[in-house]
Amino acid sequence: MTAEMVPTGALGGLSPGLILIIGALAVPFLKEQARGPYLLLLPVLAFFQLMSLDHGLMGVVSVFDIELVTLRVDRLSFIFGTIFLIATLLSMIYQYHVKGWMEHTAGMIYAGSAVGAVFSGDLVSLFLFWEGTAIASVFLIWATRTPEAMAAGQRYLIVQVGSGVLLLAGTMVHYGQTGSLAFDSFDVETTAGLLIFLSFGIKCAFPLMHNWLQDAYPQATVTGTVMLSAFTTKLAVYALARGFAGTEILVPIGAVMTAFPIFYAVIENDLRRVLAYSLNNQLGFMVVGIGIGTELAVSGAAAHAFCHILYKALLFMSMGAVLLRTGTVKGSELGGLYRTMPWTATFCAIGAASISAFPLFSGFVSKSLIISAAMKEGYFVTWLVLLFASAGVFHHSGIKIPFFAFFAHDSGMRPKEAPTNMLIAMAIAATLCIGIGVFPGPLYAILPYDVSYHAYSLEHVITQLQLLIFSALAFTVLMRTGLYPPELRSTNLDSDWIWRKGGGWVLGRLEAAWRGASAALQQGAIRGVQRFVANLYKAHGPESALARTRPSGYMALWMTLLLGVFMLFAFI
């Protein structure tokens, strides 16, 4: 890898991610009053550093003979770095009221690792930051301190670290075969490419590798879930866009991701878990875009990740506020909260309109890039699936979340409105959602490729409204006819059953088999030892062959013979 040295930013070639991580280390030593402002300052500082950087490779560190590039700024890393820093700032405002240092420090290191990973120019740096996101983020789950959260955190950590191990394995194979550590595009048909692809796929919650997300995110703290929703999976989207753009298999993978989680979202009672399922569905759109791989499609994926981070964080923030004030986010227990939490309800509705891609909201200007790219390239079945998923996401996220939390049947609860800092964070996110929806120009300007796209043609607006309004009509008809399934307190089995129950069953079986085998082994071993001792006794006991005494003349004879043989060989 040849590093092209270019003029560096305000803080030299320091990665904005490292600013957050190094900054986070000081958090435990700060006084309570200073901690809040300091945490807001860090992402702002990192943002200024990013803005002052030229595009190119920087922050080159030599370790042994290997050159690591800790800072690669180009259009793809710039847009992801920018939105990650915006999400960091929003999260810090949202958790401003949280006392103590643990969550803040873990959250900041997590955000810094995600930003650092985005700017990594080589696979080793990527791996280090990749594992950094895994280890730091688990504390946001454990901070809930319930037994369920502890267990879910452990499962989450195993999956995340496992993804890192695959990445490391892929890196080593890739280095062995090509001699290069550069983090550029890979071929999924090579061993190294496949390992790296699977590593990214786990973090991106591909079908059947997805369930860590729905398992762990609803267990995190009120504020922690907001951070989790922003970074881990979108880092994986970035990594796929960097490494596997145009990889055909991503198109069907992404299409399945858009469609199957929404069935679960309809019947799930925990509203934060509903959001986790719809997060999975939104990732599917981005994965399809990356799989199609044209300039329009990859730009669409990046744009959608940008908008998605904002509206998904906004939705998780609103449900976090509900959880903070009522102690639950179960649809079956909530309802009628609009009376005393009108601002939270309004912001939630804006997030819902954005994820549903209503015209004038952010999702509309980004998702249509991907759907248009699918149409342009002639992916007919994929296009049908994406349309179905678009209608479905409005149904379960757009309507279900605000409806069951704030309207529906009156729960009788009249909780206080969310704390001011949470309302400010939600207001900024909501403003950005509408701002991007109304003026998409600035977002389109920072996409990875130059695309000339007009989201607001009459055709786009009317067809999208038809799709959405008729989804709402379906919801209304199903509600009024009583066909809509009620919210029930329940657990729905998903692929995590394989390791939570099935794994237990397999382990139980293995344990039983092991007990049997080890008993047999022990007995066999004891018998073996007994036989060995008996043989030893036969050879070395008082009556044995070795115990016999022989005259020393014997020895001299043998020595002479041996020496004779040696000399014979030496002369030959």
Partner 1 sequence: MTDRTPEPAEIPRKAPDERPTWIDDRKNVDRICYALYAVSAALLLVDPLIHKHGPFAIEHWWGFYGIYGFVGCVFLVLAAKELRKLVMRSEDYYDR
Residue ranges in 413-432 that form contacts with partner 1 under rule CB under 8 A: 413-416
Q: Which stretch binds partner 1 (CB under 8 A): 166-174, 218-226, 430-438, 446-454?
A: 218-226
Question: 321 CB contacts (<8 Å, ≥6 apart)?
Answer: 222, 341, 344, 418, 419, 422, 426
Is 484 one of the binding residues for partner 1 (CB under 8 A)?
Answer: yes
Mapping DSSP to helix (H, G, I), strand (E, B) and coil, where does residue 467 land?
helix
Tell me the two tokens of residue 142.
């454990």
Tell me the two tokens of residue 147.
């037994």
CB-wise, 478 or 520, nearer to partner 1? 478
Is 387 one of the binding residues for partner 1 (CB under 8 A)?
Answer: yes
Question: 68 CB contacts (<8 Å, ≥6 apart)?
Answer: 60, 61, 62, 121, 122, 124, 125, 181
Is 538 one of the binding residues for partner 1 (CB under 8 A)?
Answer: no
CB-wise, 103 or 131, nearer to partner 1? 103
φ, ψ (nearest 5 deg) of residue 442: -60, -35
CB-wise, 79 or 140, nearer to partner 1? 140
CB-wise, 35 or 242, nearer to partner 1? 35
Residue choice 179, 378, 441, 482 for contact with partner 1 (CB under 8 A): 378
CA dihedral 73, 74, 77, 78 (to 10 degrees): 80
Of 306, 424, 430, 344, the C-alpha closest to 40 is 424
Rounded-to-integer distance, Cα 404 and Cα 440, Å: 31
Considering only residues 309 to 328 of the shown chain, the ones binding partner 1 according to CB under 8 A are 323-328
Task: Output the smallest distance, CB 467 to partner 1, in A.
Answer: 4
Residue choice 190, 340, 346, 421 for contact with partner 1 (CB under 8 A): 340
Burial class (CB in 10 A: 0-12, 13-18, 19+), 472: middle
CB-wise, 155 or 174, nearer to partner 1? 155
Considering only residues 119 to 178 of the shown chain, the ones binding partner 1 according to CB under 8 A are 143-145, 148
Rounded-to-integer distance, Cα 17 and Cα 22, Å: 9
Task: Output the smallest distance, CB 420 to partner 1, in A.
Answer: 15
Q: Which stretch binds partner 1 (CB under 8 A): 217-225, 351-359, 361-369, 549-557?
A: 217-225
Name 182's bridge partners: 122
Tell me the two tokens of residue 458.
């009459």
CB-wise, 414 or 531, nearer to partner 1? 414
Is 52 one of the binding residues for partner 1 (CB under 8 A)?
Answer: no
Considering only residues 496 to 515 of the shown chain, the ones binding partner 1 according to CB under 8 A are 500-501
Residue choice 40, 61, 158, 467 for contact with partner 1 (CB under 8 A): 467
Q: Kind and range of the H or E element at 203?
A: helix 191-203
Is 266 one of the binding residues for partner 1 (CB under 8 A)?
Answer: yes
Is 31 one of the binding residues for partner 1 (CB under 8 A)?
Answer: no
Residue choice 45, 128, 424, 474 for contact with partner 1 (CB under 8 A): 474
Size of the site for partner 1 (CB under 8 A): 74
Task: Output the smallest distance, CB 404 to partner 1, in A.
Answer: 14
Residue choice 179, 485, 542, 553 for contact with partner 1 (CB under 8 A): 485
CB-wise, 310 or 321, nearer to partner 1? 321
CB 443 within 8 A of CB 306: yes
What is the pairing mode between strands 66-73 and 56-63? antiparallel
Of 414, 224, 215, the C-alpha closest to 319 is 224
CA 178 remoteness from chain centre: 28
Q: For residue 503, count other CB atoms closer than 10 A to its CB.
A: 12
> Half-sphere exposure (CA, 13 Å, Cβ side) for 529?
5
Task: Output the smallest distance, CB 499 to partner 1, in A.
Answer: 11
Q: For residue 160, count other CB atoms closer than 10 A to its CB.
A: 22
What one-character-per-residue DSSP string does 328-344 give? Answer: --BTTT---GGGT-HHH
Is 32 one of the binding residues for partner 1 (CB under 8 A)?
Answer: no
Tell me the two tokens of residue 566.
């040696």
Is 388 one of the binding residues for partner 1 (CB under 8 A)?
Answer: yes
Residue choice 41, 488, 517, 559 for contact with partner 1 (CB under 8 A): 488
Considering only residues 70 to 99 of the shown chain, the ones binding partner 1 according to CB under 8 A are 97-99
Task: Output the smallest distance, CB 310 to partner 1, in A.
Answer: 22
CB-wise, 197 or 316, nearer to partner 1? 316
State the binding string over 269-308 for partner 1 (x if CB under 8 A, else -): ----------------------------------------
Task: Output the smallest distance, CB 455 to partner 1, in A.
Answer: 14
Rounded-to-integer distance, Cα 437 and Cα 431, Å: 10
CB 81 within 8 A of CB 115: yes
Rounded-to-integer distance, Cα 512 and Cα 254, Å: 41
CB-wise, 79 or 213, nearer to partner 1? 213
Is 345 one of the binding residues for partner 1 (CB under 8 A)?
Answer: no
Is 491 one of the binding residues for partner 1 (CB under 8 A)?
Answer: yes
Is 482 one of the binding residues for partner 1 (CB under 8 A)?
Answer: no
